[in-house]
Structure 1
Amino acid sequence: MAAKLPPFPGSTGRRDWTTALDAIKKLLNNGDDTVQVFRIMRALNVGSTESGYARLLGTEEGGRIAREQAELAERFSDRTWVDSFAPGTVGAAYRDFLDSTGYSADGLVAVSREGNANVEIDHPYAWFGRRTRDMHDIWHVLTGYKADESLGEAALVAFSYAQVGGAGWAFIGSAAALKSLRITGSTLFARAVIEGYQRGKAAKWLAGEDYLKLMHEPLGAARKRLGLTEPVMYKRAQEELGEEMASYLSQQREEAAEPERLAA
């Protein structure tokens, strides 16, 4: 059983539904507005960072990982390090992810800082929050959920809720699934989101992994070890809904200096 730790200093322990409702309205109008995702997380994920950090300390490797406090974004932004991974590894798949999407670890960090003065403070909880943020793109790689479509992001949101808790994840996933029923006239999108939650519940706790080691594992072996099943409904929804419907929450852009992330 994980230890019980005190709350984040200065936190109220109360969810801010006013902010969450404002943010979800903006997010559903523009799925590229990732800033709203972080607003929702801060408003609703009360206690999830503390409980996640406590759970980490209760794992075999967690004490060492917490003591070392590796900043994953710094490593994931080091292109020389990223280029060093052998073909077929998780790290190589992450490299392909960066090259195919145009995303970067630095880009996600920049978005997370908007309106959040606490993201970079020197505190174990803040470090674990950054760690959770920086694992997101690796989870895209591990789960097989595409990052540049609304369907893949919504499914990963549901997966994340099953893995790390936090009402914010559930709120975003549920809202995206409900809107999809009206927009697509099909239950496939929603069923893929539900499958994401089920896959998250069935998998090993990914937040406790040593990512600096995991990146060197063969991708297939890592998925098997972590209990990551095939996203059957997700692939079916992709195929039957088509690319346009899979990304129905996104605004189209003719030009962009760096592709923005699809939030849900």
Structure 2
Amino acid sequence: MNTYPSTIDTRLRPLTAWRAVRALRDDPEDTRQIFVIFRALRGKSGYRLFARFADSANGRRILAERRSLLAALSDHDYLSALPAGSVGRTYLRFMQEEKLSADGLVMASGSDEPTLDPDIMLFRNRMRDAHDLTHILTGYGRDPLGELCLLAFMNRHVRNPGQLLIIAMAWKRMSGEARKAVWEAYCNGGKARWLVDQDYEAFLARPLDVVRRELAIRAPHRYEALAS
């Protein structure tokens, strides 16, 4: 039977999530609302996710080393010196083309429980900081369909109901082909290796195509057909 530290808020807040959904619908660029939705609906799924991470070999090592993925992704000198086609160089180009910064999600995410266990805080920060890197690994862009596909893909890994709510919110307005692309992403996510405990720092210097193959990440054919 799972027990949850008293500092973990596992209550579901559907009204908070619904207000955030309406705000996001009015302003799709208001990224902060996505984090509000995730927090409002994560319930016990977030702690179960952390428990699985902390029980894995990579997770234990990352926690013991007090890793900061944000620091690695913010080191542009290191990333720019990596080989062409590597995960890190591709990530850096993506961030520059989209005019993003690794700490942009820190500001968008807002505050969380300030008294969390340090290990849980490190894990949550790592999940947040990995978002743009998962765009690179999965091949989904930052266009609206790409973001929905990434949510569908990652739902197979993190199981946050908020991801499905955001997809459902957009479903009626999507074309049949767009829906097929989202479904393909959901299926591809289920076939890939679990991404949550991966050693992202070690991936940065390695060829992107090799990393995708090792992680069993399939090409997003339906999304690519619509995005081209």
TM range (shorter): over 0.9
Aligned pair 1:33/2:21, yes or no?
no
Of residues 152, 160, 169 in structure 2, which corresponds to 1:175?
169
TM-score by length of 2: 0.93
RMSD of aligned Cα (Å): 1.8
CA distance in 2, matches of 1:71, 1:195: 32
Note the C-alpha offset of 1:8: 4.7
- Unpaired runs of 5+ residues, structure 2, are none
Does the 8 Å contact 2:7/2:115 carry over to 1?
A: no
Aligned pair 1:233/2:222, yes or no?
yes
CA distance in 2, matches of 1:107, 1:119: 20
Aligned pair 1:200/2:189, yes or no?
yes
Aligned pair 1:155/2:152, yes or no?
no
CA distance in 1, matches of 2:215, 2:191: 9
User: Per the alignment, in what secondary structure is the counterpart of residue 105 of structure 1?
Assistant: coil
Does the 8 Å contact 2:7/2:117 carry over to 1?
A: no
Alignment partner, residue 213 of structure 1: 202
Note the C-alpha offset of 1:12: 4.3
Count of aligned pairs between the two proteins = 228
CA distance in 2, matches of 1:85, 1:122: 35
User: Per the alignment, in what secondary structure is the counterpart of residue 39 of structure 2?
Assistant: helix
Higher relative contact order (CA 8 A, sep 6+): 1
Q: How does 1:1-264 map to 2 (within 5 A)?
A: 6-113=3-110, 116-118=111-113, 123-147=118-142, 149-180=143-174, 186-239=175-228
Does the 8 Å contact 2:21/2:33 carry over to 1?
A: yes
* Percentage of matched positions with identical amino acids: 32
TM-score by length of 1: 0.81
- Unpaired runs of 5+ residues, structure 1, are 181-185, 240-264
Does the 8 Å contact 1:5/1:50 carry over to 2?
A: no
